[in-house]
Amino acid sequence: MTYIGIIITFVLIENFILTQFLGLCPFIGVSRKMDSAVGMGFAVIFVMSLASLITWAIYNLILIPLNIRFLQTITFILVIAALVQLVEMVIQKISTPLYKALGIYLPLITTNCAVLGIALIAVRREYNALESFIAGFAAGGGFLLAIVLMAALRERFETEWIPKPFRGVAIAFVTAGLMALAFMAFDKALLKNLVG
Amino acid sequence: MNLYRILYAFLSVSGLGILFGVGLAVVSRVLAVKKDELVEKLEEALPGLNCGACGHAGCSSYAEAIAVSSRSEEAEEVPLTLCLPGGAEAASALAEIMGVEVDYTESRKVAQVHCRGTRDVSRQAFRYTGVADCNALFALFGGDKICPYGCLGLGSCIRVCPVDAIDCDEQGGVWVDRDTCIGCGKCIDVCPTGVMKLLPYDADYLVACNSKDKGPVVRKYCSVGCIGCKICEKKTPEAGFVVGEFLSHIDYEAAGDRAEQREKAAQSCPTKCIVRNAKPRSGEELIPAAVSADKKEKEESDSKQQNT
C-alpha cells in the first residue's frame, strides 16, 4: 500500500473516532471549545506518530529477536505513558493556557485506546518504520479532523436552543453518531478508486 | 530456553522502564515550570472547595486572577471579597497577603428550600417511578405534585451540594443545614422549580412556600402552602412580612422587634407555612404550633427529652 493510501485509510476510511470508535473520551471531553480541541488534536498527532514509530522499533528490535512478542501490549503502554508525560511537560512549559484547557484529558491520552490501537494495528499489518510513522501521523490527523468538526458543531450548540434533556453531552453523542453515519460513505471502494 | 525467555522479558521491560524513568526525570528538570509564590500563598488562604461562587473556575484560578490584577495596571481589578464560603475570614487573609485593607460588610447568605409540602400533605397528580432526579421528573408535566412551584423531593440539590449541607427525609422533605451551607448557589442552579432560594444566614423565620397561586387553588393541593391571606402582614406589621403575587415573604432588612413578632406571625398563620429556619430534627420545634400528624409531635417531644 502506498503512503497516500495509508493516509487516506486512517484519516477517512478507518477514522479512529468515527469509524472505529476509539478514543471517545477526549473527543467528547475536550471538543467544547475550538482552541482546546485543536490543541488536543495536535497533542494526539504528536503522541500517535512518535508512539507508532517507537513501538515499531521496540517490537522489531527487541521483542521479535528475543521472541517475547506476548509483551507487546505492556511495553506499548509503557512507551505511550512515558510519551504522554513528555508531551504534558512540554505543553506546560510552552503554553500554560492550553495546559489548563486540556486539563485532565491530557494525562488521559495515556489510557487513550486510540494510541494503543494505532501501535497494535501498525504492528499487526507489518508496516515498516516509515509506514508505521505515517500511519500514526494519519490516525492522529483523523482524530484532529473529527474533534475539530465536533468542536465547530458544539460551538454552535452554545447559541442554539436545545431541548433540556438533550443539552450537554447527550446532544454531543447524538451528533457524533450522525457524523459516524456520514463517515460510512468512505469505504474500501473509494480507496481503490483513488489509489488503484 | 524458557528460563531465558523469562529473563529476557524481565530485562527488556525493566530496562525500558528505567530508561523512560530516567529520561523523564531529566526532561522534567530541564522543562521545570516555576510556580508563582504569591499565587500559592493566596491559594492557601482560600478554603479550597472549588465551588465557583466567586465567578472563577476554582480557588486556584481566583488566586491567580488576584495576583495578575495586582501586578499589571491594565488588568481589571479583582475584589478580595468574592469568596462566599471563606467569608470575612478568607477576605482578611487575602488582604493580609496583598497588604491592603478590605471592608467586608456583605452578610453571609445560605440556601433554603422554601417548601414544606412533603408527599403526605401535598396532593400528587400521578405516581412517579422513574429516575430519581428532579429535572427528569420536572420534564414530565412539571412534576408529580399538582403544585407546580414546590420541592420535588428527589434530591438533585443533595447530589450537587459540595459540602453535604442538604438532607432529605422519607417523605421528600428537603432541608438545608444553614451552618454547613456555604452559599455557593449550585443547588439553586440545579433546582427546576426554583424553590431553593438564598436568605441571610441569621434569618430566624422563613415562609416555606413558593406557590404563586391564589389561596383557594393552593388549599386544594397543599395543606401547608401560603394562601396569600395577608394575616402575617396585617397582624404583625413590624415583622417585615410582604405579600405579593399571593405569596408572603419576609423582608429581612426591615427594622423593629422582629423575633417576637415573627413568632406571633408563625403562630397565627392559618396554614402554618411560616417556619423557623432550623434543622427539623435538631430537637427544636420547627413550627411553633403543631402541624398535622401526632407522630411528628411525638418524635419531637422524644428528642426534646433526650436533649434535656
Cβ-based contacts under 8 A for chains A and B: 48
Same-domain check for residues B132 and B226: yes
Same-domain check for residues B53 and B145: no
Identify the three-state secondary structure at position B159.
helix
Distance (Å) of CA B40 to CA B37, B48, B50 = 5, 12, 15
**What pLDDT does residue B78 have?**
79
Confidence of residue B299 (pLDDT cuts 50, 70, 90): very low
Mean pLDDT of A41-48: 87
Is residue B154 assigned to a domain? yes
Q: Determine the Cα–Cα distance for residues A85 and B31; give it in Å rounded to an integer.
A: 12
For residue B115, is it left (φ>0), alpha (ψ between -120 and 50) or beta?
A: beta
Mean pLDDT of B221-244: 86
Closest CA to B236 of B266, B212, B213: B266
**What pLDDT does residue A150 have?**
93
Q: Which member of B16, B20, B33 has the closest CB to residue A93?
A: B33
Same-domain check for residues B174 and B61: no
In chain A, where are the structural domains located? 3-187
**What pLDDT does residue A52 have?**
92
Range with the poorest average pLDDT among A158-172, B188-202, B284-298: B284-298
- ipTM of predicted assembly, 2 dp: 0.74
**Positive or negative: CA dihedral B50, B52, B58, B62:** negative
CB-based contact, B18 to chain A, within 8 Å: no
Chain B residue with minimal CA distance to A70? B9
Q: Which domain holds residue B189?
A: 109-307
Per-residue three-class SS string for B165-234:
CEEECCCCCEEECCCCCCCCCHHHHHCCCCCEEEEECCCCEEECCCCCCCHHHHHHHECCCCCCCCHHHH
Q: Determine the Cα–Cα distance for residues B53 and B85; give it in Å rounded to an integer.
A: 8
* A166: amino acid identity, one letter: F
Range with the poorest average pLDDT among A73-77, B67-71, B193-197: B67-71
Same-domain check for residues B128 and B73: no
Mean pLDDT of B197-222: 87
Residues B133-192 pLDDT 10s: 888 888 888 888 888 898 988 888 998 888 888 988 777 788 888 888 888 888 898 999
**What pLDDT does residue B282 have?**
44
Mean pLDDT for chain B overall: 80
Is residue B24 assigned to a domain? no
Same-domain check for residues B76 and B121: no
Is residue B104 assigned to a domain? no
Q: Which member of A63, A68, A164 has the closest CB to residue B139?
A: A164
Question: Quick check: B163 and B181 in contact, CB under 8 A?
Answer: yes
Is residue B14 assigned to a domain? no
Question: Quick check: A31 and A17 in contact, CB under 8 A?
Answer: no
Cα B171 off chain centre by:
20
Mean pLDDT of B93-101: 82
- Which spans in chain B are helix H? 2-30, 37-45, 59-71, 87-98, 134-138, 156-160, 186-190, 215-221, 231-235, 258-268, 294-307
Chain A residue with minimal CA distance to B9? A68
All residues of chain A having their beta carbon less than 8 Å from the beta carbon of residue B136 are 165
- The count of domains in chain B is 2
**Higher-scoring residue by pLDDT: B288, A37:** A37
Mean pLDDT of B187-205: 87
All residues of chain A having their beta carbon less than 8 Å from the beta carbon of residue B139 are 164-165
Read off the pTM.
Answer: 0.55
Same-domain check for residues B77 and B222: no
Please determine, for residue B291, whether its predicted confidence score (pLDDT) is greater than 50.
no
Q: Do A79 and B28 touch (CB under 8 A)?
A: no
Q: Which member of B13, B23, B135 has the closest CB to residue A75?
A: B13
Closest CA to B196 of B213, B184, B204: B184
Same-domain check for residues B276 and B146: yes
**What pLDDT does residue B285 have?**
47
The secondary structure of residue B129, as a DSSP letter, is -
The secondary structure of residue B106, as a DSSP letter, is P
